[in-house]
Amino acid sequence: MSRHLPIVAVTPFPAAAAHELKDAQLRANLGRATRTIRDKRARVVAEVPDWEELRERAARTKDEVLDRLPELLAAFEAAAVGAGAVVHHAADAAAANAIVADLVRQQGAERVVKIKSMATQEIGLNEALADAGITAIETDLAELIVQLADDTPSHILVPAIHYNRAQIREIFAERMPGFTAESDEPAVLAGAAREYLRRTFLSAQVAVCGANFAVAETGSLVIVESEGNGRMCLTLPGTLIAVVGVEKLLPRMADLGDFLRLLPRSSTGERMNPYTSIFTGVTPGDGPQRLHVVLLDNGRTKTAQDPVGRAALRCIRCSACLNVCPVYERTGGHAYGSVYPGPIGAILSPQLTGQDAGANRSLPYASTLCGACYDVCPVKINIPEILVHLRQTGPKPAAERAVMSTLSWVMRDRRRWRAALRAARTGAAPLRAVTRRHGGTLRRAPWPMTAWTAHRDAPLPAPESFRDWWRRTHAE
Amino acid sequence: MRIALFVTCLNDALFPQAGIATVAVLERLGHTVAFPPEQTCCGQLHANTGYARPARELERHTEAAFAGHDVIVSPSGSCAAHLRAHTALPVYELSELLVDVLGVTDVGARFPHRVTYHPTCHGLRMLRLGDRPQRLLRAVSGLELIDLPEPEQCCGFGGTFALKNAGVSGAMLADKCANAAATGAEYLAAADNSCLAHIGGGLARRPGAPRPIHYAEILAGTGARA
Ligand code: SF4
């Protein structure tokens, strides 16, 4: 099966973005939604006096996990197995999908219910299960909307952020069995989804989940959610399969508190999330009687070896960085061509896949390096620094390479620089008369500045450079 | 005090007024300005576009050019931030020098115009300039400072981002220009001529929109502008 991984962009970001930018409705939906979430986040974060210390400590905890990865994985496995779970290791997406499909088949099930999980999105589990004749049903409301629409998620936390409620009503009317409502009131739409999902939960034998955290000390998995659908999935079906990225580990149960304070405020702007489920192994007569944990690598061990890039693995998928990103706000998630969009996607997808995969090399350039993401990240990932690092280590066009090294050569010597300034000034002189009409700026420039003047006027070299002015006025 | 000026390559070539204004303000306050002539570029453009080696060479070149200077000022937030992150040079952005080192907010300027201020991303989030530039502007005689809506939103410049992702950059620019125009100000000031070249290029296409100006030029002002 050679379907491309859902973290490999097919179209380079600039082209994908150009397509999304044409959609005025999308931009309006995104602008409204991200502004609401980021204002809410800012309010509740401001309430926490020790927010900066929390961030520091959480970053350190996650770095400890990366430093001790093999050891903590072994500890987690031992504890989980001791509590009755079965632990599997998957080196990549194909291996993980095969393990899950086999486990579902062993139960003789044709359907599974799913809790929203980025790890299963990343490996394209639903599609792989479909190939194996198994139907996966998403039970998170937004994820369900996206699934019914036959679309892909456009946000980590709010996968249907690109739709407004009128569009959601249409999707339900067309695709949800038994949906008849005329209204697009949120309560009506949520009610319809609830009824549909209840029927599904009660008949499911197998549930598939991810995990927000995996505690090495106790072998416990932690799932944080808002709707209660997760609680249903975790308790009703007899078999539960968790697909967990290896970086989701926490060394100790005592570390969890910091993260449970950081995550909801950063992601939904709530002081606390409505449902937090912590479960360890199997308890006879209570909840699922078969618990499988699939520990997923898929590029993580390799990423953990890059001294700069590894910080991306601290990510707890809160999506605060998406909500403040001016690029994300204009393009939406689809432009990133990965289930990980926005700033975190721009550093995570190319690292997990390698920069040569598809068009992923274009992602580190999908940022102005404005730094808004770094400011809000609850685990202090210096996203701009990693973006620059990936640009520096990734492939680059030969023509650009030549221009850059010539430029640097010219600039490393003041005589060469002065000559270049003079040449630029002479070259621009004829243009000066043309541009005088609109304040001395250039409306249409020749290549390579055509992309610049497509959106804005270009400045011209000054009639007298600063250094010439200095010489004229300050030289002894 | 003897203060070395790092004018930046962009200002040297395209916007010498920002450097000239910086010199004027400091000299008016009684300081001596030096211009080490070997200086060219800090390497920011190379580093951020992905060229680590040429960037490092330019950083070393700049370090050598400024060897022996104890106080360096630059009228560019992003270049000051880059040098601070990648060299050991004691570099201050102009407002840091004036407010923190020299302890002045009133530089004795006059600029009888309506002005709005865009806090550029490097100034805001890397240097944490806070409201230093606005404090300096508020002390300017005759100046009316008008709040810019959504000030912390990036203008969409981002160095080569403006070329590589021209579409997104243009969309961000359009929003910044609309916010600037909504202020009714005559001038949009900022601490970085790279962002101003981009925003100004957008404003130039909107009749009646504010004109771009480096805030150093306002601080050097002595009266009304044409
Ligand atoms: S990178 Fe930071 S802000 Fe972005 S999703 Fe991950 S944890 Fe949240």
Alpha-carbon span A337 to A366, nearest angstrom: 12
Identify which has the larger pLDDT, A426 or A98. Answer: A98
pLDDT of residue A176: 87
Checking if the pLDDT of A30 tops 80, the result is yes
pLDDT of residue A134: 95
pLDDT of residue B59: 96
Could you tell me if A330 lies within 8 Å of chain B, comparing CB atoms? yes
Could you tell me if A447 lies within 8 Å of chain B, comparing CB atoms? no
Share of chain B above pLDDT 90, in %: 95
Contact: B158, A459; criterion CB under 8 Å: no
ipTM of the complex: 0.95
Query: Can you tell me the mean pLDDT for A372-379?
Result: 97
pLDDT of residue A1: 40
Alpha-carbon span B1 to B136, nearest angstrom: 20
Alpha-carbon span B218 to A74, nearest angstrom: 63
A319, A268 contact by CB (below 8 A): no
Alpha-carbon span A238 to A244, nearest angstrom: 19
Report the b/e string of A204-234 with b at 16+ CB within 10 A: bbbbbbbbbbbbbbbbbbbbbbbbebbbbbb
pLDDT of residue A437: 58
Band (pLDDT 50/70/90 cuts) for residue A2 is very low
A293, A242 contact by CB (below 8 A): yes
**Amino acid identity of A347?**
I
Note the pLDDT tens digit of each residue in A192-201: 888 888 888 8
Checking if the pLDDT of A92 tops 90, the result is yes
B194, B82 contact by CB (below 8 A): no
The position carrying tokens 């007298």 is A464
Residues 88-117 of B with CB under 8 A from A: none
Note the pLDDT tens digit of each residue in B111-137: 999 999 999 999 999 999 999 999 999
Q: How far is the CA of A56 from the centre of ligand 1 (A)?
A: 14
Q: Which residues contact A32 (CB under 8 A, 6 or more apart)?
A: none
**CA geometry: angle at A214 spanning A212 and A215, to 5°?**
135
pLDDT of residue A228: 86
Q: State the average pLDDT for chain B.
A: 95
Band (pLDDT 50/70/90 cuts) for residue A435 is low
H or E element in which residue B159 lies: none
* Residue from A247, A338, A381 whose mutation best tests the ligand 1 pocket (most atoms within 8 A of CB): A381
Identify which has the larger pLDDT, A235 or B144. Answer: B144
Alpha-carbon distances, residue A45 vs A250, A285, A381, A383, B125 (angstroms): 23, 41, 17, 20, 18
A397, A358 contact by CB (below 8 A): no
* Residue from A34, A65, A344 whose mutation best tests the ligand 1 pocket (most atoms within 8 A of CB): A344
Query: Can you tell me the mean pLDDT for B189-211?
Result: 93
Query: Can you tell me the mean pLDDT for B12-33?
Result: 96
Query: Can you tell me the mean pLDDT for A279-286?
Result: 93
pLDDT of residue B180: 97
Nearest protein Cα to ligand 1, atom 8? A318
Contact: B165, A462; criterion CB under 8 Å: no
Tell me whether strands B144-146 and A290-296 are parallel, antiparallel or unpaired: unpaired
Q: Which residues contact A354 (CB under 8 A, 6 or more apart)?
A: A299, A360
pLDDT of residue B72: 98
A243, A210 contact by CB (below 8 A): yes
Sign of CA dihedral A314, A317, A320, A323: positive
Q: State the average pLDDT for chain A.
A: 91
Q: How far is CA A233 from the centre of its chain?
A: 24
Band (pLDDT 50/70/90 cuts) for residue A156 is confident
Tokens of A57: 């400590």
Checking if the pLDDT of A449 tops 80, the result is no
Using only C-alpha atoms, chain B has a radius of gyration, in whole angstroms, of 17
Tell me whether strands B72-74 and B2-5 are parallel, antiparallel or unpaired: parallel
**Amino acid identity of B168?**
V
Checking if the pLDDT of B225 tops 80, the result is no
Query: Can you tell me the mean pLDDT for B142-148?
Result: 97
Alpha-carbon span A242 to A298, nearest angstrom: 15
pLDDT of residue A241: 97
- Please choose, from the candidates B219, B19, B189, the residue with its C-alpha nearest in 3D space to the C-alpha of residue B109: B219
Q: How far is CA B5 from the centre of its chain?
A: 13
Could you tell me if A437 lies within 8 Å of chain B, comparing CB atoms? no
Residues 145-184 of B with CB under 8 A from A: 152-154, 156-173
pLDDT of residue A476: 64
Q: Which residues contact A31 (CB under 8 A, 6 or more apart)?
A: A329
Pick from A14, A408, A414: CB nearest B165 = A14
Note the pLDDT tens digit of each residue in A321-333: 999 999 999 999 9
pLDDT of residue A157: 84
Residue A201 phi, psi dihedral angles, 5° rounding:
-55, -45
Alpha-carbon span B210 to B193, nearest angstrom: 15
Using only C-alpha atoms, chain A has a radius of gyration, in whole angstroms, of 26
Q: How far is CA A474 from the centre of its chain?
A: 54
Residue A437 phi, psi dihedral angles, 5° rounding:
-55, -45
pLDDT of residue A424: 86
Alpha-carbon span B51 to B45, nearest angstrom: 9
Note the pLDDT tens digit of each residue in A72-85: 999 999 999 999 99
Note the pLDDT tens digit of each residue in B11-20: 999 999 999 9
Band (pLDDT 50/70/90 cuts) for residue A25 is confident
Checking if the pLDDT of B177 tops 60, the result is yes
Range in A161-170, A181-190, A389-398, A448-457 the model is least confident about? A448-457
Beta bridge partners of A242: A209, A293
Checking if the pLDDT of B170 tops 70, the result is yes
Tell me whether strands A220-225 and B144-146 are parallel, antiparallel or unpaired: unpaired
**CA geometry: angle at A420 spanning A414 and A421, to 5°?**
90
